[in-house]
Amino acid sequence: MKDFIYHAPTEVVFGKESEEKVARLVKKYGGSKVLVHYGGGSAKRSGLLDKICGLLQEGGLEIVLLGGVVPNPRLSLVHKGIELCRKEKVDFILSVGGGSVIDSAKAISYGIPYQGDVWDFYLGKADPACCLPMGCVLTIPAAGSEMSDSSVITNEDGDVKIGYSNQMSRQKFAIMNPVRTFTLPPYQTAAGVTDMMMHTMERYFSHDDDMTLTDAVAEALLRTMKDCVYDVLKDPEDYRARAQIMWGGSIAHNDLTGCGLSGDWATHQLEHELSGMFDATHGAGLAAIWPSWARYVMHENISRFVRFAVNVMDVPNDFTDPEGTALKGIEAMERFYRSIGMPVNIPELIGRDITDAEIEEMVRKCSKDYTVTQGQFKVLQPADMAAIYKMAAKS
Ligand code: NZQ
Ligand code: ZN
C-alpha cells in the first residue's frame, strides 16, 4: 500500500430533516451574510430554495441570491458571482444544488479575494491564497463535489472545460436529504450513478497491489450502486435506495476508495472534452468513453480487469481464458449502461457521428496542445487519446 494522506474534513449532515439545521451550520462556520447559489430552477420548483432562505433568515442571517448555474457551469456566471459577493460583502457561500452549483461556488469563493482572473487557477498559472468558507445542500448525488477538493468550470470562450483541485475548497458542511432527490429525472439519476461509479473505477484500475481493504470498499460501493439504481428507476421514491446512492456519491469521491493507490483519471479527462465541446451530461459522457478506454488499456493488467469482471460484474471466472473473462466484464458494464439509459459510444451521446476534425480538436485540448499525457493505468500519449476517441466514435 502506498503512503497516503486522507483528509475529508466536511461535516456531513444526512437524513430526512437535515436541512432544518442549515442556519446553525452556517453560523458555526462563521457566516453572517450568505450568497445562496443555485441552478436553473429545480430547487425553486420543489420549494427547497424558499425553505432554505426562510430558515437562514429566521436564524438571523442576511442572504444574497444568485441562480442560473447550468450543468457544465460557466465562467461568466462565476465572474458575476465574484462581483456580486464583493459588492454585497458576503462572507459565506451556500450552494443549493448539485456538482455544477457547488463547483461554481468554489470558483466564486477562490475569486473574491484574488486580484487577477479566477481562470488563472484553472489554467495552472496561480494558486489562491485563501477563499471564502462554503457549505452545500445537495440535491443530486453524482459529482461528489460536496466532499471533494475539485471544481470543474467551462470557459465559454473556446468551450474549454478544466478542473482545478485545492484542499481549501472542501465544503465546511454538506446537508444531504435523500428525499430531495426523489424529483430527479431518470436520466440524471442514471448519469449520477455512472459518475460516482466512475470515480471509484478511476481509482480501482491501478497497478498498485496490496490494496485489499481499499479494493473491498470499492467493490462493495460499485455493487451497491449498480443494484440501487435499478430500485430508484423503478420507484423514484424508494428512500432506502436513494439514501444508499446519496451516500455512495460522497464516499466515491472523498478519496476513501483511493487510499494507498494512484488513480487513473484518463476517462474523466477524455470526457471533459466531450462535455466542454458538446455540453453533454458528464456522467453520460463517461459511459460513452469507458468501454473504449477499457478495451484499449486492458492488456496493461488483465488480472485487474478479471477481478473487476468477477467481483463487480458477476462474470464467472474462466481460468483458462483471462482475456475472455476481462472482455466479458467490459461487455457486462456496457449492458448495464444500456439498461439504465446511458450511451456506450459518442454517437449515442451526441445524437450524430463525430468528425475527425472534432476528434483532433479534443485530442489537442486533452493533451494541452500536445504537451501532456493522461492516465496512469496506461499512460496515454496524444495518439492513444485519438485512438480511444476513434473507437468510441463507432456506433
Ligand atoms: O439546474 P437545475 O434546475 O437545478 O437542474 C439540475 C441539472 O439540470 C438537475 N437537478 C439537480 N437536482 C435536482 C435536479 N432535478 C430535479 N430534482 C433535483 N433534486 O440535475 C441537472 C444536473 O445537475 P448538475 O449539478 O449539473 O449535476 P452533477 O452533480 O452531475 O454535476 C455535474 C458537474 O460536476 C462536474 C462535472 O464535470 C459537471 O460539470 N464534476 C465535478 C467534480 C468535482 N467537483 O469533484 C467531479 C466530477 O468528476 C465532475 O467532473
Ligand atoms: Zn466525474
Which residues fall within 8 angstroms of residue 99, CB to CB, at 6 or more apart?
140, 142, 143, 144, 145, 152, 282
- Describe the strand order of the beta sheet including 33-38 as a list of residue ranges: 11-14, 173-176, 134-138, 92-97, 33-38, 62-66
- Alpha-carbon distance of 265 to 201, in angstroms, equals 9
φ, ψ at 176 (rounded to 5°): -130, 110
Q: Which DSSP string corresponds to 25-38? A: HHHHTT-SEEEEEE
* Per-residue pLDDT, 184: 98
Query: What pLDDT is stored for residue 59 in this prediction?
Result: 98
Residue type, 100: S
Residue nearest to atom 48 of ligand 1 (CA): 143
The span from the CA of 244 to the CA of 251, in Å, is 11
pLDDT at 316: 98
How far CA 57 is from CA of 60, 125, 171, 200, 287, in Å, comes to: 5, 39, 21, 39, 42
* Protein residue whose Cα sits closest to atom 29 of ligand 1: 99
User: What local confidence, expressed as pLDDT, does residue 159 receive?
Assistant: 86
Q: Is the CB of 41 under 6 A from ligand 1?
A: yes
Q: Is the CB of 82 under 6 A from ligand 1?
A: no
Nearest atom, ligand 1, residue 102 CA: 44
pTM across the whole model? 0.97
> For residue 161, how far is its CA from the centre of ligand 1 (angstroms)?
15
Q: Can you list the domains of the chain with their CATH numbers?
A: 11-179 (3.40.50.1970), 182-392 (1.20.1090.10)
pLDDT score of 75: 98
Round to whole Å and give the CA distance between 102 and 36.
11
Mean pLDDT (10-residue bins), the chain, 395 residues: 93 97 98 97 96 98 98 97 98 98 98 98 97 98 98 93 97 98 98 98 92 94 98 98 98 94 96 95 98 98 97 98 98 98 98 97 97 98 98 94
Q: What is the pLDDT of residue 153?
A: 98
Residue 378 confidence (pLDDT)? 98
Measured in degrees and rounded to the nearest 5, phi and psi for residue 150 equal -110, 160
Q: Please name the residue that has the C-alpha cell 459510444.
A: 345
- Which pLDDT belongs to residue 210? 82
